[in-house]
Amino acid sequence: LDFANYKEALDLIEKSRYILIITHVNPDADSISSALALSNLFFENRIKHKVFNVSSDLPQNLDFINRFDKITDQLPKFYDLAISVDCGTIKRLGFELPSDIPLINIDHHKSNDDFGTINIVDSNRSSTAEIVYDFFKFNGLYITKHSATALYTGIYDDSLRFSIARCDEMTFEKANFLVKCGANPSFIANKLLRRDSLAKYRVIPKVLNSLELFDEGKIAFIKAEPLWLKQTGAHVRDCEDALDMIMSMAIVKIAVFLRVVNNEIRVSARSKGEIDVSKPISKFGGGGHTNAAGCTLETTNLEEAKNMVLKEILETR
């Protein structure tokens, strides 16, 4: 990792007239938080910019982060610099960035192939928010309460609440400093974890009930049928916690969650320990980390999708 990149990135930011901060498709807390930490920094320093996501369907439980309501799905007419956050591949931007626009690629996916003009990529970090934190610190930039809240949220969520293997002493050091800067851990945890809809608890039992086990229970599959979402009024995002629950079973080593989104099937896969689930998932054009990966399949047939993914997992074991 070259620390000069952080300075170079700041130089480019200061030279630019209008900056587009890009969060990844199906955005999560890490991507949104990293973007909003930068957005607050830019706003406070009168740097013209927009935070963009290709969809307007954002995780609303992040609405407590300052400037969340400013995120847009409309590309500005003019911008002369792009910054992607938490995008493991250029496809994750969700649109074709014009080739004459310089791109600062800030990310922590090991699959990241340095697609940017400047690349600040460190796959040893728990979250992209940790790397954005380094961007502030290495450049001597003041972290306000708003940026601290954003960065703490990204670290907390993407480290699976400080539990993944890549969550190390540096992660805790950063979290500690962010709390000093005004991030409030219990406020953030309550905002993320204590505002679920009733519909979520109507749909989760259906999702859990779809559990199928393979390979002596080592491999688990669950799904969300579109009908169940209609019946309960739940958002497809409400089903995601079921995957965590399945992973908590002692026998399960790999778990896969399948659901229909926009006439395709979104696949989320998780694994324990040394098992690299990003390997079979990358066969379908997806990617991610050793223990968490995802892809999209061009079908709406959940049974067919299950068979395809199961076959690949069994073959890459």
Contacts 24+ apart (CB under 8 A), 176-181: 177/143, 178/133, 178/143, 178/148, 178/149, 178/151, 178/152, 179/148, 179/152, 181/143, 181/144, 181/145, 181/147, 181/148
What part of residues 108-137 is at the interface with Mn ion (CB under 5 A)?
Answer: 128
Q: Quick one: what does residue 134 bind among Mn ion, ligand 5GP, none, with the CB cut-off 5 to 8 Å set by partner type? A: none
295 interface partner picked from ligand 5GP, Mn ion, none, CB below 5 to 8 A per type: ligand 5GP
Residue 238 sits in the site that holds Mn ion (CB under 5 A): no
294 binds ligand 5GP (CB under 6 A): yes
Of residues 118 through 147, those in contact with ligand 5GP by CB under 6 A are none
Least Å distance, CB 26 to ligand 5GP, is 6
Helix, strand, or coil here: 173?
Answer: helix
Subset of 1-40 contacting Mn ion (CB under 5 A): 28, 30-31
Q: Which of 32, 288, 290, 305 binds ligand 5GP (CB under 6 A)?
A: 288
Helices (H), the chain: 4-15, 29-44, 128-138, 145-158, 169-180, 185-193, 198-209, 226-232, 241-247, 278-282, 302-315
How many positions of this chain bind ligand 5GP (CB under 6 A)?
15
Give, as ranges, the residues between 86 and 105 that touch Mn ion (CB under 5 A): 86
Q: Which residue number, 26 or 149, has a Cβ lying nearer to ligand 5GP?
A: 26
Q: Are the beta carbons of 223 and 259 closer than 8 angstroms? A: yes
Enter the tokens of residue 263.
Answer: 């006439």
Which structure tokens are listed for 65? 């982060």
Closest to ligand 5GP by CB, 2 vs 196, is: 196
The yes or no reply on residue 59 touching ligand 5GP (CB under 6 A) is no
Say how far apart CA 155 and CA 132 lie, in whole Å. 10
When asked if residue 26 is in the footprint of ligand 5GP (CB under 6 A), the reply is yes
Nearer to ligand 5GP by Cβ, of 154 and 287: the residue is: 287
Nearer CB in complex with ligand 5GP: 154/286:
286
Q: Which of 291, 264, 267, 296 is nearest to 279 (CA)?
A: 291
Pairing outcome for strands 81-85 and 19-23: parallel
Residues that bind ligand 5GP (CB under 6 A): 26, 88-89, 92, 111, 268, 286-289, 292-296
